[in-house]
Amino acid sequence: TIILGIESSCDDTSAAVIADGILLSNVIANQDVHKAYGGVVPELASRAHQQNIIPVVYEALERAGITSDQLNAVAFTRGPGLMGSLLVGTSFAKGLALSLNLPLIDVNHLQGHVLAHFIQEKDHDFAPPAFPFLCLLVSGGNSQIVLVKSYYDMEIIGQTIDDAAGEAFDKCAKVMGLPYPGGPVVDRLAKEGAPDAFVFSKPQIKGYDYSFSGLKTSFLYTIRDHLKEDPFFIQRHTNDLCASLQNTIIEILMEKLRKAAFDLNIRDVAVAGGVSANSGLRKAFVEHGEKYHWNVFIPKFAFTTDNAAMIAITGYYKYLNKQFCDIDLPPFSKTTIA
């Protein structure tokens, strides 16, 4: 069974081929046009997707060493994401499926981030989490704790009531004048800073939910207050600010995850989404694994941020379950998982 996956939900155009669960290719075209604007400009994103989609899909087929007539189905990201971006991938997938007379499979982007843990690569060890497991899904648009009962059945048991973790990284980075996206930059600078140099406020929220808007305000006020005394405060303390910010975000994330793992008595704990690329968070996962005897699952860097391999693997499992969609199914911009 050979599945082509197409991802275009935000600012990465990606296509991947998966054969019997094994990844043959995963091509990603990033969009540099947004850097100058300090964030993704939706109209520019959809135009760049239009330019990228055909070459990206061709390259994915070529690298996989297959031709389009060998495909069994086309899987595409239906949502959530930017509507203009989703329309490009969705329309292309539909056109391709129609012309090749192939079934179409709609994939939820967030389910894709979670199922990235099931991507198998040739000549690589494969030890995926066992159901049911917990997945901390932390990305640019979402922060949630997902109880994963099967490939098809996922329940969000906690989620952010305001900003996502990735958004907190990006917005605070912007305050310091760092380039977009700020997450990876904060990660790099934090390595040279002290995580306890500054204390930022943490949310007091019941259950497994998250909140990051208070941290953002606390970060902003700390900087504003110090700037009154020292106009070069940010330049002088960038590394410490980054380390302390990152440390606070990780503490907030892990506290609720620990609570969920204890309450539900689950030991298989995974992390997914763009923020799972963060070196501090990855380290915290390893440490939690040792301390609490969790089996922790941390994705390869290539499968943390948006990629079509995770869409193709989700498409593969939906194919096995005969979950196809109609050609007139519209994309959606906002929703929850599965």
Asked if 170 interacts with Fe ion (CB under 5 A), we say no
Run of H or E residues at 239: helix 233-264
Stretch that binds Fe ion, among 35-43, 134-142, 219-227, 258-266 (CB under 5 A): 134-142
Stretch that binds ligand ATP, among 53-61, 176-184, 234-242, 322-330 (CB under 6 A): 176-184
> Between vectors from CA 309 to CA 304 and to CA 313, what angle results, nearest 5°?
110
Asked if 10 interacts with ligand ATP (CB under 6 A), we say yes
Please state, in angstroms and rounded to a whole number, the distance separating the CA atoms of residues 105 and 226. 53
Cα distances (Å, whole numbers) of residue 142 to 57, 106, 211, 273: 27, 20, 11, 9
77: β partners? 107
160: β partners? 210
- Output the residue with the shortest Cβ distance to ligand ATP: 274
Identify whether the C-beta of residue 108 lies closer than 8 Å to the C-beta of residue 79.
yes
Tokens 């940010």 found at? 234
Binding to ligand ATP by CB under 6 A, coded x per residue (else -) over 280-319, reads -------------------------xx-------------
Stretch that binds Fe ion, among 34-42, 86-94, 138-146, 311-319 (CB under 5 A): 138-146
Q: Which two tokens stand for residue 132?
A: 């049911």
Asked if 106 interacts with ligand ATP (CB under 6 A), we say no
Identify residues 216-255 at the interface with ligand ATP (CB under 6 A): none
Please state, in angstroms and rounded to a whole number, the distance separating the CA atoms of residues 28 and 306. 9
Q: Is 20 annotated as a binding residue?
A: no
Q: Which residues bind Fe ion (CB under 5 A)?
A: 139, 306
Annotated binding site for Fe cation: 109, 113, 306
Q: Which residues bind ligand ATP (CB under 6 A)?
A: 9-10, 80-81, 109, 113, 139-142, 166, 169-170, 181-184, 187, 273-275, 277-278, 305-306
